[in-house]
Amino acid sequence: MKKLFAVLLALAMLTPLLSAAALAATDVGIVLPTKDEPRWLQDQARFETVIADTDYSVEVLFSQGSSATERTNVETLIAKGVKVLIICAQDAGAAALTVELAKEEGITVISYDRLITDTEAVDYYVTFDSVAVGEAMGQYLLDNAEGVGNSLYLYAGAATDNNAFLFFEGAWNILQPKIADGTFVIRNSSEAIALQDQPKLTRDQQAAIIGQITTDWDFNVAKSKAEAHLTAVGADEKGLCYILAPNDGTARSIADVFSSDADVNGYYVTGQDAEIASVQYVIDGLQSMTVFKDTRTLAQDAMDMAITVMEGSIPATDAAYNNTVVDVPAKQTPVVVVTKDNVVSVLIDTGYYAVSQFTGIK
Ligand code: BGC
């Protein structure tokens, strides 16, 4: 009996400590889409550097590709009393309802990299210039094309990601006039062929094309689509191929498929994110380029914005993005094209990566 009393007394004394720990306040909550893509691990690492430098308490959670987990993460952060939520949405539309929960609690919502659509509950957007990403990809393919009739294979990101539309829009800006004049011939999308004389596409037209050529940002989807496309065409539609791949992970899968096809005797393939594996592919001549998006700048900009808000000021912005309901004030960062020729000056000399992370750099 005495023992039981002692245990109960000890528990009673611990309870306030336990509940205090459970409610430990967090100032800024960060929600990233998944740990399964190197891109978001880069952002996590950069956020950790930025967090180490601030007096505010910050917590990073991952949604692991699930809008339901994303919502639970946001609920957890709301319970911890965050004042600012920095969120890179898994699914732009599904996240609208989730951020509305935060907004109801008076939390400032910053869309990070991917714009959350269909809601008023987004205060700011911190992003790279995503149309410029697509334009850089299109320009790279164009700069390497000669004559007419060059085989063009188009791929896109996930239709649930607003960025997939912006990347495609940028690429289309550059490629469409060169498809219309015969420099390129689209080999893998009847929807894109049907619209190839149209310089500007509506969102619905873009959606029709993206629906056909989407990779869902998934390496396996990219691989099986590329295999199916090469199976569907004759040898005369292969030869030297020009491939618009939407990011590094999908670029590597698609490149592997094209390089193992006997009728493909060369290819140019785009990418973005400067993932370590793709930088190695670029060095080895297996991927032609990647668009470097300096996550150091993005993480810093997002945290600076959060701190400005917590200090009661209005953050500086330099663009606005319409999310179908409101124009969201945005802070936008430029991007840099990386090829074999400038890997060292852009990625190594600036300290983004160490030379020891790669082989074959002289
Ligand atoms: C990002 C890309 C990334 C892709 C897949 C996009 O929203 O902007 O950098 O490769 O998502 O995760």
User: How does pLDDT run across 72-128, given as a tens digit for each residue?
Assistant: 999 999 999 999 999 999 999 999 999 999 999 999 999 999 999 999 999 999 999
Cβ of 37 below 6 Å from ligand 1: yes
Give residues with Cβ within 8 angstroms of 132, minimum separation 6: 170, 334, 335
Where in the chain are the domains?
Answer: 17-122+295-334, 130-293+338-357
CB 301 within 8 A of CB 126: yes
Residues 267-296: what's their mean pLDDT?
98
What does the pLDDT read at residue 23?
Answer: 55
Say if domain 17-122+295-334 classifies as CATH 3.20.20.70: no
Give this prediction's pTM. Answer: 0.93
90's CB contacts (< 8 A; 6+ apart) are 33, 34, 63, 65, 66, 67, 70, 160
Nearest to 245 by CA among 273, 204, 207: 273
User: At residue 167, does pLDDT exceed 90?
Assistant: yes
* Mean pLDDT for the stretch of residues 140-149: 98
Residue 10: predicted pLDDT: 53
Q: Is the pLDDT of residue 21 over 50?
A: no
Which atom of ligand 1 lies nearest, measured to the CA of 163?
7
Q: What is the pLDDT averaged over residues 251-267?
A: 98
Q: What is the pLDDT of residue 362?
A: 74
CATH architecture of 130-293+338-357: 3-Layer(aba) Sandwich (3.40)
Helix (H) or strand (E) holding 238: none
Q: Do 254 and 231 contact (CB within 8 A), yes or no?
A: no
- With 60 as the cut, is the pLDDT of residue 17 above it? no
> Which of 2-16, 154-168, 223-237, 270-284 has the weakest average pLDDT?
2-16
Distances (CA, A) of 124 to 49, 293, 306, 311, 358: 22, 19, 10, 16, 37
Residue carrying the six token digits 């004559």: 147
Ligand 1 pocket test, pick from 63, 70, 161 with the greatest ligand atom count within 8 Å of Cβ, gives 161
Q: Do domains 17-122+295-334 and 130-293+338-357 have the same CATH topology?
A: yes
Taking each continuous run of H as one helix and of E as one strand, the counts in the chain are 13, 13
Name beta bridge partners: 136.
none
| Contact (Cβ atoms closer than 8 angstroms) between residue 70 and residue 78 | no
- Residue 302, phi then psi, degrees to nearest 5: -65, -45
1 pLDDT higher than 50: no
Task: Identify the pLDDT of residue 150.
Answer: 98
With CA atoms as reference, report the closest residue to 285 among 341, 203, 327. 341
Locate the ligand 1 atom nearest the alpha carbon of residue 217 and give its number. Answer: 5
Please say if the pLDDT value at position 20 is more than 50: no
Asked if 127 contacts 330 with a C-beta cutoff of 8 angstroms, the reply is: yes
Furthest-apart CA atoms within the chain: distance in Å: 93
Residue 216 has pLDDT above 90, yes or no: yes
Q: Which of 163, 210, 248, 254 best tests ligand 1's pocket when mutated (most atoms within 8 Å of CB)?
A: 163
At residue 18, the pLDDT reads 47
Cα(89)–Cα(112) distance, integer angstroms? 8
| Residue 217 Cβ contacting ligand 1 at under 6 Å | yes
246 three-class SS: coil
Strands 319-322 and 264-269: unpaired
Predicted local confidence at residue 317, as pLDDT: 98
Measuring from atom 12 of ligand 1, which residue has the nearest CA?
Answer: 217
CA distances 27 to 76, 100, 323, Å, are: 13, 18, 26
* pLDDT tens for each residue of 287-336: 999 999 999 999 999 999 999 999 999 999 999 999 999 999 999 999 99
The residues facing 162 across adjacent strands are none
- Which backbone phi and psi does 151 adopt, to 5 degrees? -70, 125
Residue with tokens 């992970």, as numbered in its chain: 249
Indicate which atom in ligand 1 lies nearest the CA of residue 248: 10
Give the chain's mean pLDDT. Answer: 94
Q: What angle in degrees, to the nearest 10, is found between the helix axes of 203-213 and 162-180?
A: 90
Nearest ligand 1 atom to the CA of 130 is 8
Residue 311: predicted pLDDT: 96
